Amino acid sequence: MRTVAPGVDSYAEAYRVHRAFDYILVFIFITLLTGIHHLHAMLSVGDWTFWTDWKDRRWWLFVIPLSSLVFPVVGQYILWQHCRVPFGATLMVVCLLLGQWIDRVNNFAGWVYYPLNFVWPGTLLPSAIILDLVLMFTNSYVLTAVLGAWSWGILFYPSQWYMLGAFHLPVDYHGVLMSIADVQGFEYIRTGTPEYIRIIEKGTLRTFGQDVTPVSAFFCAFACILVYFVFNQFAKLVASVKFIKGRI
């Protein structure tokens, strides 16, 4: 005959055990997610996050929010669905930024000497906070997809311009018009990255003249709605104990 004895003797002790469990899990999750989310960003949209001369108004503001939405959606679902904790997106983006800054400071600047003002990542924290708040206030994944994910995409560019604007001042560079970011890309040599590799300002989106930024941002915002739905369902599928039922 098996006997089950309680592991704790009081509510106070139970509380302490819960908190210890929280801290251990949070530490493990942050460590893992910092690595995994950063790796995901590097492999999917690496150069756009690395260099100022890739941060254009056509591709950068489209691919970064789109690619970087995957982890926040899944994190948000797990934490909200099972614990009603509304910081899944913020946590994922904090992990991403932690990984990116460790990488930039140690590798890009410390190891190969690029100045940090050339290799900084954008920040998705403003978008993530809004995404979390929309879920908290609506308690609806559909509304979070439509309002939150849309905001995630649309707010990305304006929330970077405080940093990026300074790098778009015009320069007469030996008789060629360039932005400061272009000059950085030209002068700070990336031996294995010739100029033609840059995927910037390419495409047929020319109908709106100079106002390509809002068009790209709106397109990104709508694409983010789709990504939110897809990965919300993905999270629903995989964030389950049904795979290990009967084994525990």
Partner 1 sequence: MRRKITNLGIISLILLSIAPASLVNAHGERSQEPFLRMLSVQWYDTKWSTDKVAVNEEVVLSGKFHLHTGWPEAIAKPDVAFMHVYVPGPVFVRKGVWVNGKPMVRSASYEIGRDYEYKIVMKARRPGMHHLHPMLNVKDGGPNAGPGNWVEITGDAADFTNPVTTLTGETVDLETWGWSRVRNWHILWALLGGFWLVWWLRRPLLAGRNILLRQGREDELITPMDRKVGMGLGILTLALIFYGYFSTIDKFPITVPLQAGLMELNPLPVDEDVVDVELQEAHYDIPGRSVRMTVNVTNGATSPVRLGEFATASIRWLNAGVAPDVGPYPQDLIALNGLEVDSDTPIQPGETRTLNIVATDAAWETERLALLIYDPDSRFGGMLFFYDENGKRHKQTFGGPLIPTFTAI
- Binding to partner 1 (CB under 8 A) within 199-238 occurs at 200-202
Distance between CA atoms of residues 95 and 68, nearest Å: 12
Segment 104-143, which members bind partner 1 (CB under 8 A)? 112-118, 120, 123, 125-126, 128-130, 132-133, 136-137
In the complex, minimum distance from the CB of residue 73 to partner 1, in angstroms, rounded to a whole number: 17
Beta bridge mates, 177 = 172
Segment 43-62, which members bind partner 1 (CB under 8 A)? 53, 55-57
Instruction: Confirm if 99 and 107 have CB atoms less than 8 A apart.
Output: no
Q: Does 165 bind partner 1 (CB under 8 A)?
A: yes
For the CA atoms of 121, 126, 130, 132, the dihedral, rounded to the nearest 10 degrees, stands at 60
DSSP type of residue 122 = P
In the complex, minimum distance from the CB of residue 1 to partner 1, in angstroms, rounded to a whole number: 28
Question: Using CB under 8 A, which of 12, 187, 206, 244 touches partner 1?
Answer: 187
Q: Does 243 bind partner 1 (CB under 8 A)?
A: no
Question: Using CB under 8 A, which of 8, 31, 105, 161 touches partner 1?
Answer: 161
- Tokens 């991403």 appear where? 96
Question: Using CB under 8 A, which of 8, 19, 31, 218 touches partner 1?
Answer: 19
Nearest alpha-carbon partner for 95 in 160, 22, 31: 31
Q: Token pair for residue 41? A: 């960003």
In the complex, minimum distance from the CB of residue 13 to partner 1, in angstroms, rounded to a whole number: 13
Residue with smaller CB distance to partner 1, 108 or 231: 108
Residue with smaller CB distance to partner 1, 73 or 79: 79
Question: Using CB under 8 A, which of 6, 7, 194, 246 touches partner 1?
Answer: 194
Residue 216 one-letter amino acid = S
For the stretch 189-196, contacts whose Cβ atoms lie closer than 8 Å and that sit 24 or more positions apart, written own/partner, are: 190/51, 193/47
Buried b (16+ CB within 10 A) or exposed e, 51-67: bbbbbbbbbbbbbbbbb
Segment 72-111, which members bind partner 1 (CB under 8 A)? 82-87, 90-91, 93-94, 97, 101
